[in-house]
Amino acid sequence: MLLQIEEPNAPITPDRKRSQAIGIDLGTTHTVVSYVKDDQIKTVSINGCNLMPSVVACNATGLIAGKSAQQCATCIYSIKRNMHKPAEKLAFGKTTVELTAAILQTAKLAAEKTLNEPIDDAVITVPAYFDDTQRQATKDAAKLAGLNVLRLLNEPTAAALAYGLDKKTEGLYLIYDLGGGTFDVSLLKFTKGVFQVIATNGNTALGGDDIDQKIMAFLKWENTLDNKLKAKALKHKVPSENNTMFSKDDLLNLSADLVQETLSCCDHVLTDANYKPQDLNGVVLVGGSTRLYGLSYALEKHFKQKPYQDIDPDLSISHGAALTAHALTEGSDTLLLDVTPLSLGMEIMGGLTEKIIPRNSPIPVQKAQEFTTYQDNQTGLKIHIVQGEREMVKDCRSLCEFTFSNIPPMPAGMARIRITFSLDADGLLSVSAKEMHTNQEQHVEVKPSYGLTEDQLYKMLYDAQLHAKEDIIERLLSEAIVQTKHLLKIILHAIEEDRDLLQDTEYQHIQELIKQIKHSIQMKDYDSIKQLKEEISQKTQIFAEKRLERSISKQLINTTT
């Protein structure tokens, strides 16, 4: 089912009125909670700080999260990295979902204390690469924490909203998100009140922490927590002219490779969407590591415009989530559209992938395609749903399989089965199959048994680019084999019925061609298969015409009698 999106400027009816809703940036290292009150964005202070550590520990009363958890002898960090394994018990006999729920519950309680009222609704941000499992796990954790998720919002979209790009010139905006350990870049298009993420890219092994390590190595400091904090501080400030141990040039040289790598990712995301740097209306900086000395200037030089960096980069995503929460409960003049990071499709004959929803399609989205049977009297159809950019199913990620049964028996190619893929506003997929003659329908919700990490996402995209040429060659070969085998099946059936219409020399020639074709298929010789298929088609053309004449004659005889 395709979910409805809030219409622009929709009036607020009494039954749509809600209590205060909050926006939560559920981060790997920190969680931030914000809300809109009297048209002002405010951030919830949790234990005296805007940034709550995304850390969980266990004491005599149960799970605790945040700053107090950090002080415990045993605690667990970076739980978000395990959202692709929601049921796995990570620590204290608790699952990923339960530990995440502890973080969200602490955030909820802090918001309730600040606002002095119960909080039921929230918009929670997730990385653009999160798949069905990770998104569903986030929603499950929220439910366990007593929160109703109004919307799972992609982080780059949240950042764009925080900077009020929806109130600025219509056009193209690039979201540059540099964290401690990862880099993400997204391209957003804003037209006529509609915000659409049209492309994403990034590098999971690139971040500000790399510069910290380089600074420590350069200064020959030991790898201690104290020195890491000192290196981080050096990274964000302008080195003193009198500092002979560590100069501006030293910092710029140490960070040059990282900055260049991020710019390459930016160029790739623009190329993917068929745009150039000069097409951009703005560049937005997100993530604490964008405070890196010299970075803003490098971006300004590359894109020929000064980037947006007015908002604290640690808070911008939660601000965008808060604005979305406010819009969903109070009405809005902006429509939010995210995109799916990988193509969704299904397996067809020959182990080929047929893409139904292409990568970077705006969501929510619903797309349908009709398929048919391959054999006479076929009453079932295996539907194998996959995710990825490769041409062959074996190189994509399997999501689920189900069999659509009770198809009425009929000749091959006569049945019409409409397959519909529906991706909702939270990026969750459902698939339905409908037989168009009987209107029989079957529906499944796709809930993969395991999730997709950011590393796996970018590896899938990289592999698709790396193997693009050989994938096309393999697809052409597979298509040729399927088509040729189908042709052989038709020819052999025709010979079985009307062998007498062939002269012995014709029959022997056809049999020899069939033998050669089978050998070429076995050897996977594309050129030979293509040539022999054409040859046997020409060789059997007269035979086919004779069969047609016989069939017409039989029908005429039956009609007269």
170 lies in some domain = yes
- Examine the domain organization and report whether 175 and 306 are in the same domain: yes
Q: How confident is the model at residue 544 (pLDDT cuts 50, 70, 90)?
A: confident
- Among the ranges given (270-274, 408-412, 531-535), the one the predictor scored with the smallest mean pLDDT: 408-412
Rounded Cα–Cα distance for residues 184 and 201 (Å): 6
Q: Measured between alpha carbons, how far is residue 373 from residues 401, 415, 421, 558 in Å?
A: 17, 6, 19, 30
pLDDT of 7 higher than 50: no
2 lies in some domain = no
280 lies in some domain = yes
pLDDT of 221 higher than 80: yes
pLDDT, position 125? 93
- Examine the domain organization and report whether 223 and 154 are in the same domain: no
pLDDT, position 555? 73
Rounded Cα–Cα distance for residues 111 and 35 (Å): 9
Segment 25-32 shows an average pLDDT of 88
- Examine the domain organization and report whether 266 and 358 are in the same domain: no
| Cβ atoms within 10 Å of 49's Cβ, excluding its own | 13
- Among the ranges given (58-72, 233-247, 268-282, 350-364), the one the predictor scored with the smallest mean pLDDT: 233-247
Of all residues in the chain, the percent with pLDDT exceeding 90 is 19
Segment 497-520 shows an average pLDDT of 88
* Pairing mode of beta strands 89-91, 75-76: unpaired
- Among the ranges given (262-276, 287-301, 396-410), the one the predictor scored with the smallest mean pLDDT: 396-410
Instruction: Look at 46 and 247; give whichever has higher pLDDT.
Output: 46
pLDDT, position 465? 63
pLDDT, position 2? 26
pLDDT, position 220? 83
pLDDT of 404 higher than 70: yes
- Examine the domain organization and report whether 16 and 53 are in the same domain: yes
Rounded Cα–Cα distance for residues 508 and 485 (Å): 19
pLDDT of 75 higher than 70: yes
Q: What is the pLDDT of residues 158-198, one digit of tens each?
A: 888 888 765 666 789 999 998 776 788 888 887 766 667 78
Structure tokens at 325: 């929460």
- Examine the domain organization and report whether 209 and 295 are in the same domain: yes
Among the listed residues 385, 389, 392, 384, the one whose alpha carbon sits nearest the alpha carbon of residue 343:
389
pLDDT, position 214? 85
Rounded Cα–Cα distance for residues 520 and 533 (Å): 10
Domain's final residue, options 408, 435, 466: 466
The total number of structural domains in the chain stands at 4
pLDDT, position 12? 40
Q: How confident is the model at residue 537 (pLDDT cuts 50, 70, 90)?
A: confident
Rounded Cα–Cα distance for residues 393 and 385 (Å): 9
Give 30's strand partners. Answer: 53
Q: How confident is the model at residue 13 (pLDDT cuts 50, 70, 90)?
A: very low
Q: Write the CB contacts of 444 (distance below 8 Å, at least 6 apart in sequence).
A: 400, 402, 430, 431, 432
pLDDT of 333 higher than 80: no
258 lies in some domain = yes
Q: What is the pLDDT of residues 420-466, one digit of tens each?
A: 888 876 667 888 888 888 888 777 666 443 455 656 666 666 676 67
pLDDT of 369 higher than 50: yes
Q: Which helix (H) or strand (E) element contains residue 121?
A: strand 121-126
Q: Which CATH number belongs to the domain containing residue 507 in this structure?
A: 1.20.1270.10
Q: Which CATH number belongs to the domain containing residue 356 in this structure?
A: 2.60.34.10
Q: Which CATH number belongs to the domain containing residue 18 in this structure?
A: 3.30.420.40
pLDDT, position 306? 93
Instruction: Look at 495 and 180; give whichever has higher pLDDT.
Output: 495
Structure tokens at 332: 């809005």
- Among the ranges given (95-104, 228-237, 245-254, 283-292), the one the predictor scored with the smallest mean pLDDT: 228-237
pLDDT, position 121? 94
CB 458 within 8 A of CB 465: no
pLDDT, position 155? 85
- Among the ranges given (371-380, 503-512, 522-531), the one the predictor scored with the smallest mean pLDDT: 371-380
| Alpha-carbon dihedral 195, 196, 201, 207, rounded to 10 degrees | 20
pLDDT, position 561? 57
pLDDT, position 113? 93
74 lies in some domain = yes
Domain's final residue, options 466, 497, 531: 466
pLDDT of 8 higher than 60: no
pLDDT of 245 higher than 90: no
pLDDT, position 402? 78
Q: What is the pLDDT of residues 97-148, one digit of tens each?
A: 999 999 999 999 999 999 999 999 999 998 776 777 788 889 989 999 999 9
Q: How confident is the model at residue 408 (pLDDT cuts 50, 70, 90)?
A: confident
317 lies in some domain = yes
Give me the chain's average pLDDT, please. 81
Most confident of 16-25, 267-276, 416-425, 431-440: 267-276
Contacts 24+ apart (CB under 8 A), 89-93: 91/56, 91/58, 92/56, 92/58, 92/63
pLDDT, position 11? 40
- Examine the domain organization and report whether 72 and 201 are in the same domain: no
411 lies in some domain = yes
Segment 373-380 shows an average pLDDT of 81
Range of the domain at 281: 166-310
pLDDT, position 195? 67
Domain's final residue, options 408, 431, 466: 466
3 lies in some domain = no
pLDDT, position 299? 95
